[in-house]
Structure 1
Amino acid sequence: METTRRASQGFAIQIMTAIAIALIIAAQAWALWRSYQATWLLETRSAENTVNSIAANIERNLNVIELSLLGLVEAATDAAVLALPPDLRNRVLFDSSASARYLGSMLVLDVDGNIKFDSGAFPPRVANLRDRDYFQAQMKPRAGTFVSLPFESRIRNGDVSIALSRQLAGPDGDFEGVAVATLRVAYFKTLFEGISLAPGSIISLIRSDGTLIYRHPSTDGRGNVGFDLRGSNAFRRIKEHPNIPFQERSVIDLVNRYYVHTQIASYPLVLSIGISTSEAMRSWYRQLAISIAVILGTIVLIAVIIRSLRLALARSVEIEDELERLSLTDALTDLPNRRAFDLALHTEVRRSARSGAELSLALLDIDHFKRVNDQHGHPVGDEVLHRLARVLLGSVRRPGDYVARYGGEEFVVMLPSTEPDGARHIAEAIRRNAEAMAPSLKDAGLRQITVSIGLATQSFKPGDRPEDLVRQADEALYEAKGLGRNRVVAHGDRVRDASALELH
């Protein structure tokens, strides 16, 4: 009989060991998957923010150039301006924007493509630019603003640029020439090189016809200017699905990347960032290797842990008796009591130390509660405490948020993974809800109560004391009381003039 019982126990231990190992592996796999998703999300969000920021920068500069170009068109077709002395006319035609650092030249070309007026020289430099795409495009009616292909400037020693152009039209709409403003590609080089990209990532500016205007880092050392992307799958997907990220292999360096892209306002330009998928997840792969090592070590130790299980089961009855004796619930409000809160606080502090997430604490006190007891009686005071407890529970929504009675007329709300702004928002909601509640059904003479709330937020590290967070919240509560009650004060707030505060 004893042998059978022992065999049964041994078999049960084996089953429990297998279940424990399976649970550990499953938990680690889930955690790694969540970590993978979080790491990838961080990389993609960072790329999206960078694309939007750089696109806004380029758009602002192009808008300035376009406005200057429109002003040049207006001035170059104004008979009064054209009648001015040549040196004064040049100053009127080309305002201060023509001297911007990366603005190459502003030109007025006649109907044959010859330079008529020149921002960079007086008298104007001699060149015929009729063959340029920006001139040819403006020979068509209502061409609007045209953004050219990149080209080597004939009047600035081959400086690579793009041009914005507008048509000059006579009173009858006849073609009378072209106004041109060139932007040096060096602008994009300087802009892109100032961005901190992850290893293997790239940033590119592409014309809507598939011509690469500038790429950083480049494979030729000059930005791969003019590279034709029309036949690439990446450019095809950009054209077919604007603003939708995708994963594709680059035709330039054959690296597989995740692309985030956006069009720059109404201009025929697309800004794209490509994240190297292997480099972006390198840190996660290291974490994966460490996790596998930890799992293997855990499996080795699991036998020792299971052997301790029988002792743990033997002590479980004693622990249950102890928990029952201590009773973790406040009888009046049905909320967790001070001891239960202390246990929960230590648990959340350890979790914060592991994850690095912020932990917020709101300590609140009923204003003038002694007056409530003295004027309306302790039964009414008890009712106020009970009803306020219900309001507190209704004011927090997340499963991890924790409400407890701290003692007397004090309550505490613990908010895991909550930053200061979020904690203040919840605390203000609690304050308003408490102010709006009917404090007593037994005594209609008690029409309203208010609460003062002290807030504290901390991201814990191993070894930090949970008591420090409570102390900070208590100091903030003391300050809220001193500033007139019925308010929320966060630890670290600097209130210089209490009379300037809005009283709620």
Structure 2
Amino acid sequence: MRFGLRKGVASRPWRLSAKLLIASSVVTVIGFSAICASVMLDMRRGEEELARQSLENLASSIDSDISRNVELYDLSLRAVASSMVVPEIKDVSKTIRHLILFDHAATAKHFGAIQVFDDEGRLTIDASTLDPAPDNRSNEEFFQVHRDRPDAGLFISRPMLYRGAYAIVLSRRISSDDGRFLGVVAGSIRFSYFHDLFGRLNLGPDDIITVLRRDATVIMRTPFDLDVIGKNLGRVPGVMRVLSEPSGSFSGLGALDGVPRLLVWRDGPRPLVVLVGKPWTSIFSLWRREATRMGAIMTALVSFVLGVTLFLAREIGRRALAEDKLEELATTDALTGLRNRRKFDAEIDAEWRRAARQKMPLALLMIDADHFKSYNDTFGHQAGDQVLVGIAICISDSVRRAGDCAARYGGEEFAVLLPGVSPADALSVAETIRLKVQQWSGDPAVTTVSIGVASLTPSATMEWHELVKAADKALYAAKANGRDRSVLASIPKLSLVA
């Protein structure tokens, strides 16, 4: 009996795993989604910052305009108040007095005429006429404030109906040289000024502008609502912060409509605070459209990538299954279903190296059908094939470990590789196979098997061919001693033991 030289076994080419493909696609999708989410968040922050800057500029512009006009009107009040304490003012005619008091007074279509009230609240001088009608304002807030507080300075009243028009009254105290209260000089800025100022602005439908007095009283608001004008918002969350800090911004609900807004305020040098607000829905409207568009694109791309990935994974699975079948066909004996000679050579080479590394024994059974040629010639090839199939079944039933390798070695020869099995255990497995074949055939005339057994622990200087050679010699000994028996080879002297 001949044993073949070791055949080179080509290494299996790298195979793309369907799971690896799916995992890579999922990681890629998550990565791109994270990048897109980061970009969208940056865009959102950019929209918020842009809105904040725009509102800051708007608040500063409105505050500057209001402060400029209030300061201009206050200069006129100061001039009248200082002129009223000049002693000679009482000795001139009404016409000259008007020229002295109001020649440099600020005039505009939204400014009311300046009036002078004595210490009892009676109207004494009116810039609009030389002979003013009798009027008494002693019960007005602005008069009482100046009467009771010498340090009140410029006082801005609550919104009120003043001289036939809704307005705010600006007033200053007239004091003698010794600080005695002499009266009040007052004038008004009509609501039409604020309507004209706000009307020039390009505002959204839910944008708000609120002008507050220091005590949280609403002086003016757009959208205009007369019921809100003059209302005190001191208990509204966030308003006290607006009145206590020179400038800033925060997110809050509208005090009147409950709409979430970004609110920005500017606190000018005058006793008025400008608060502007823009709804978050308006601020993020463009961003929301872009986010929706990008989200739709990403959803489509993700769906496409996942769809293609699943399709490729299915195709890879089919290809892997086909390759496994082809490999099985290439390494399996078609008749018996055992591994073929090519696979056996690869297995014994790998197991020999593993046994050498781990210092473990490696056993080999060489099995041959007795008198098979004569049986085949007598009963035909089909009957002979049935015998080989029966022997293969008996071998498979006896060798069940995952690492064992049962193969058709060639013709009527079989080989069984038993990693980690001692000589005695290998001989026991051989006897189990022999007895099963004997029981299966039922008649020695049908077939029996002879088995050569060899087991050794490989060393660095040995080749696996020596194991095959030892098992082969043991098989010859079994044949020579009458067949239907198992013989264990004694290694290294290879003396035969029946």
Q: 1:296 aligns with which of 299, 314, 323?
A: 299
Aligned counterparts, 1:126-137, within 5 A: 126-137=134-145
How far has the Cα of 1:181 moved from its partner? 1.9
Say whether 1:279 aligns with 2:282.
Answer: yes
Tell me, in whole angstroms, the C-alpha distance in 1 between the residues paired with 2:136 and 2:185: 14
1:2-401 matches, within 5 Å, as 5=13, 7-139=15-147, 140-153=149-162, 156-157=163-164, 159-218=165-224, 220=225, 222=226, 224-265=228-269, 267-302=270-305
Paired with 2:195 and 2:19, the residues of 1 have a C-alpha distance of 70
SS in 1 for 2:112: strand
Is this contact kept in 1: 2:243–2:273, CA < 8 A?
Answer: no
- What is the CA–CA distance in structure 2 between the aligned matches of 1:144 and 1:85, rounded to whole Å? 29
Q: Are the structure 2 counterparts of residues 122 and 27 from structure 1 closer, same or farther at C-alpha, using a change threshold of 3 Å?
A: same
Q: Which range moved further: 35-44 or 171-180? A: 171-180
Q: Specify which structure has the bigger relative contact order, considering alpha-carbon pairs within 8 angstroms and separated by 6 or more residues.
A: 2
| Structure-2 separation of matches of 1:9 and 1:171 | 100
**Matched letter for residue 147 of structure 1:** I
Gaps of 5+ in 2: 1-8, 313-498
Deviation digits for residues 211-253 of structure 1 (CA, Å, limit 9, x no counterpart): 10110013x3x48311221221131221344412112212211
Measured in 1, the distance between the counterparts of 2:153 and 2:22 equals 79
User: For the residues of structure 2 that align with 1:78 and 1:21, how far apart are their CA atoms?
Assistant: 85
Q: Secondary structure at the match of 2:105?
A: helix
Q: Percent identity?
A: 26
* 1:328-477 superposed matches below 5 A: none
User: Could you tell me how far 1:272 is from its partner in structure 2?
Assistant: 0.3
AA aligned to 1:270 is V
For residues 303 and 168 of structure 1, do their structure 2 counterparts lie closer, same or farther at Cα, with a shift above 3 Å needed? closer
Query: 1:31: how far off?
Result: 0.7
TM-score (norm 1): 0.56
- How far apart, in 2, do the equivalents of 1:121 and 1:224 lie? 34
Letter in 2 for 1:142: D
Q: Please list every run of 5 or more consecutive structure 1 residues that lacks an aligned counterpart in the other structure.
A: 310-504
Q: Alpha-carbon deviation of 1:170?
A: 2.0
Contact 2:263 2:278 in 1 (8 A): yes
Post-superposition Cα deviations, 1:475-496, rounded to whole Å, max 9, x if no partner, equal xxxxxxxxxxxxxxxxxxxxxx
Closer, same or farther: CA 60–4 of 1 in aligned 2, 3 Å = farther
SS of the aligned residue for 2:97 comes to helix
AA aligned opposite 2:255: V
Residue 98 of structure 1 deviates from its aligned partner by 4.3
CA contact (8 A) 2:261 2:278 kept: yes
Task: Give the letter aligned to residue 141 of structure 1.
Answer: P
Aligned positions, number:
303
Alignment-mate amino acid for residue 180 of structure 1: A
The letter for the 2-side match of 1:97 is: A
Cα distance in 2 for residues equivalent to 1:129 and 1:94? 21
On the 8 A contact 1:193/1:216 being kept in 2, the answer is no
Task: Give, in whole Å, the separation in 1 of the partners of 2:139 and 2:16.
Answer: 94
Q: Give me the whole-angstrom Cα distance separating, in 1, the residues matched to 2:276 and 2:295.
A: 33
Q: Is the 8 A contact 1:205 1:213 kept in 2?
A: yes
CA shift for structure 1 position 89 = 1.0
CA gap 1:22/1:111 in 2 versus in 1, 3 angstroms: same
Maintained 8 Å contact 1:98/1:119? no
Report the counterpart of residue 358 of structure 2 in structure 1.
Answer: none
- Distance of 1:195 and 1:294 partners within structure 2: 37
CA RMSD of aligned residues (A): 2.5
C-alpha change, 1:7 and 1:105, in structure 2 (3 Å) is same
Q: Is the 8 A contact 1:198 1:280 kept in 2?
A: no
The 3-state SS of whatever aligns with 2:67 is: helix
